[in-house]
Chain A
């Protein structure tokens, strides 16, 4: 037995996020924690990591009482966590981020030896196979995925007794995931344990030894993964049978000839080159690729938010010059970096959803709070956002529910062309099915979509056409077909 957590409790006002949960984990065990969005997984792990203060309960590590007063102390005691949202600090260099809280290791007579620091960190990065990351550059200069990998290096570096990974895989591409699994296996081999949160049940069954299932803040059960099936886990999570319908099931349906969006010779030095494609009315176009293949940047450039871009984006025959032009054509963009680029964490759910819809809500230029509340409630209900009321600040939602709000902002305003970067990041299986159903409905009503995703199954299951990005260029195109497999896609990407 490595650690024991007894009667853990955390309440937020009337919300019982974690309600009397007791778990034990053994040395060398990889334990998955699964549950629907808002079931309290992140809250439980944050308490263990010293980020949140428990309202009740006791923790034991190596048989001794364990009461971290801060994350730094938890780190010292051998507990580290990769959190769900991004936690590298912009403005600090990569090296400073990795050595955060351990300044003493490179300080000589009170002066920070930056040369030594950068050399030290360079080695660590190389060991993790991240040659392209420079230790002396600002962490903010890197993409979301790379910043997650930097966090990974930081977490691994302290050789923790308990490593916690909160919903990180969906932010990583296939290669990044391999790095993460390697880190987890190494931790296990050292005799330490891993607590792993994921909504990808297939992944859970293949990389973990046992699974703890949570629902609405309470513990349902802990079972070994051996002999467990995805279906069985799903049913334990939601407490009822789920219908089988998930991805689209139609094949070979003709797509309209009408081109709604055309991209000509889009270039962005150092990120992507010669991107050309057409998006048809009622089409779902997938972007797939490994890390740094340029697909995220290309999607952002189509929305007009990337700097230094040359080439044309033409929508319905008109050339686009600014984001404003695109909004006039009812284009919506859902960013992968939700905390920075799509959500207003201090603002209410109501304000978050209504921000794109004032044309509809205030045709005469005036809008009342009542009207906004009703509208937001309706929209949030559509995606089953788990919240107290629409006045709740968006920052206090669980990760998956934040993502739902980010989605519903654009669903609410009659968007015609969606550009979605990792649309279902952190969303549980039940609601994913709802979102896929919604996408299909939108498609059938003539809306077009670009889906950028690290989830290959999502691309295979939903897209009419998949564009493969490799080294910043479109290297291939795959039509929707029944026989497409993940392996096939990965092969084309490498």
Chain B
């Protein structure tokens, strides 16, 4: 009985967190958070985040990292702003290809050359940042006026549902998605079972890059510019969003796709509420970092109290 209760809490923790957070912030802000206008604002803010974490979930399920998410958004945002001045579809296409290319590079370096993902993506992040400096040397590039017609809530939500839905299907209902999870659970075992680990890794990074490009497009039409600091906090935010959505920090077979959507919403509400409470941005980062660590600690604590299994694992698995 107790066991079942724990299971329910464990599987619906993120949802409970979402509800609790909403109620707490509603009380603290005197109802401002759930005002219709604000709800729309929160949703709008969450869209970009959800796109970024949807891409990231594929990489993180394999137990790998992508620290270049923010930098990728920055360069793609620049592409959107620059090329859309010539032709809008071409601009979108260029941004998408740029994102996929960045992902491909990450994927080849980690998959083909077997370099640790954290090192690879840290490097690509700085390389891209370095590229951006001369490109946006003097001032930020402004997005052409015509693009603002896309800044429309219905359009954004439709694209979100379509793309994230497609990614969800890929993750949950296809052999590819299954292989991603199995690599996260035992990479060596996966290669012995005939999974082409290299290919799957490259594929995941490309998906992550593509979703970065989509996030960049919506960032461009939201902020209207492509600047050096565009997307700079996205890497960290996407990561926290996933963890808040109940994503196991090491990835693996227990990862769930819903983490990226639920987590994106939770984090957006939190950010919005804290801003309404007029909390300083630096202080917000401090708080989020703390929450991130707290969740990680809580989750691993839960495992230990689940019996001696962990002790046994330590002896037998490694």
A324 to B186: give the CA distance in the assembly, Å: 18
Which listed segment binds B: A58-66, A126-134, A355-363?
A355-363
**Beta-carbon contact of B195 and A366 below 8 Å:** no
Question: Are B188 and A340 in contact, CB atoms less than 8 angstroms apart?
Answer: yes
Contact of A343 among B179, B189, B307, B318 (CB under 8 A): B189
Q: Does B282 contact A (CB under 8 A)?
A: no
Q: How far is the CA of A361 from the CA of B176 in the complex (A)?
A: 13
CB <8 Å contact, A351 and B182:
yes
Chain A residues, CB < 8 A from B252 = 346-347
In the complex, the answer to whether A52 meets B311 with C-beta atoms within 8 Å is: yes
Q: Which residues of A contact B315 (CB under 8 A)?
A: 51, 71, 83, 87
Does A327 interact with chain B (Cβ within 8 Å)? yes
Query: Which residue from chain B places its CB closest to the CB of A88 in the assembled complex?
Result: B318
What CA separation (Å) do A85 and B312 show in the bound complex?
Answer: 10
Q: How far is the CA of A80 from the CA of B309 in the complex (A)?
A: 18
Residues of chain B within 8 A of A71, CB atoms compared: 311, 315
B290 at the interface (CB under 8 A from A): no
Contact A358 B186 (CB under 8 A): no
Q: Across the interface, do A333 and B178 meet the contact criterion of CB distance under 8 Å?
A: no
Find chain A residues with CB under 8 A from B88 CB.
none
A396 to B, closest residue via Cβ: B309
Q: Report A443-479 residues with CB < 8 Å from chain B CB.
A: none
In the complex formed, the residue of B with least CB distance to A333 is B192
Q: Assuming A339-B317, A341-B192, is B3 touching A13 (CB within 8 A)?
A: yes
**Does B43 make an interface contact (CB < 8 A)?**
no
Given contact pairs A339-B317, A351-B181, A355-B178, A46 touches B312 in the complex (Cβ within 8 A): yes
Q: Is A41's beta carbon under 8 Å from chain B? A: no
Interface residues of B in 4-57 (CB under 8 A from A): none
Question: How many B residues touch the partner, as a band?
Answer: 20 to 34
Task: Tell me, in angstroms, the Cα distance from A393 to B190 when the chains sit together.
Answer: 16
Flag if B253 contacts A346 (CB, 8 Å).
yes
Digitize A315-331: 1 where CB-to-B-CB distance is under 8 Å, 0 elsewhere.
Answer: 00000000110010000
Range of interface residues on A (Cβ < 8 Å)? 35 or more
Query: DSSP majority for the B interface?
Result: helix
A89 within 8 A of B: yes
* A82-111 near B? 1/0 per residue, CB < 8 Å: 011111011000000000000000000000
A344 lies within 8 A of B173 (CB): no
- CB-contact partner of B188 in A13, A323, A341, A396, under 8 A: A341
A346 to B3, CA, bound (A): 19
A361 to B315, CA, bound (A): 35
Once bound together, how far apart are the Cα atoms of A409 and B313, in whole Å?
23
Most buried by A among B190, B309, B313: B309
Is B193's CB under 8 angstroms from A358's CB? Answer: no
- Among B182, B186, B188, B309, max chain A CB count under 10 A is at B186
The residue from B179, B186, B195 contacting A345, defined by CB atoms under 8 A apart:
B186
Complex CA distance for A50 and B185, rounded to whole angstroms: 27
Q: Which B281-318 residues sit within 8 Å CB-CB of chain A? A: 307-309, 311-313, 315-318
Residue A373 CB within 8 A of the other chain: no
Say how far A70's CB is from chain B's closest CB, in angstroms: 7
- Say if the beta carbon of B254 comes within 8 Å of chain A: yes
Cβ of B191 under 8 Å from chain A: yes
Assess whether A384 is interfacial by the CB under 8 Å rule: no
Within 8 Å CB of B179, what residues of A? 355
In-complex Cβ contact of B174 among A86, A323, A345, A362 (8 A): A362
Q: Of A339, A368, A395, which is in contact with the most chain B CB atoms at under 10 Å from its CB?
A: A395
A344-B313 contact given A53-B307, A355-B179, CB 8 Å threshold: no
B192 contact set on A, CB distance < 8 A: 305, 333, 335, 341-342
- By a CB distance below 8 angstroms, the chain B residues around A46 are 308, 312
User: Which residues from chain B contact A342 at a C-beta distance below 8 Å?
Assistant: 189, 192-193
CB contacts (< 8 Å) of A305 on chain B: these are: 191-192
Using CB atoms, name the residue of chain B closest to A399.
Answer: B316
**Can you name the residue of chain A whose Cβ is closest to the Cβ of B253?**
A347
Distance between A138 CB and nearest chain B CB, rounded to angstroms: 13
Given contacts A87-B315, A348-B253, A351-B253, contact A323 B182 (CB under 8 A): no
**Residues of chain B lying within 8 A (CB to CB) of residue A354:** 178
Q: Could you write out 23 A-B pairs with CB less than 8 Å apart?
A: A12-B307, A46-B312, A51-B311, A51-B312, A86-B316, A305-B191, A305-B192, A323-B194, A339-B317, A341-B188, A343-B189, A344-B182, A344-B185, A344-B189, A344-B253, A346-B185, A346-B254, A347-B181, A355-B182, A358-B175, A365-B175, A367-B175, A409-B193
Known A90-B318, A339-B316, A347-B185; further 18 A-B contacts with Cβ < 8 A: A51-B308, A51-B311, A52-B311, A85-B316, A86-B316, A87-B316, A324-B196, A333-B192, A340-B189, A341-B192, A345-B185, A347-B181, A347-B182, A347-B253, A351-B185, A355-B179, A356-B193, A393-B253
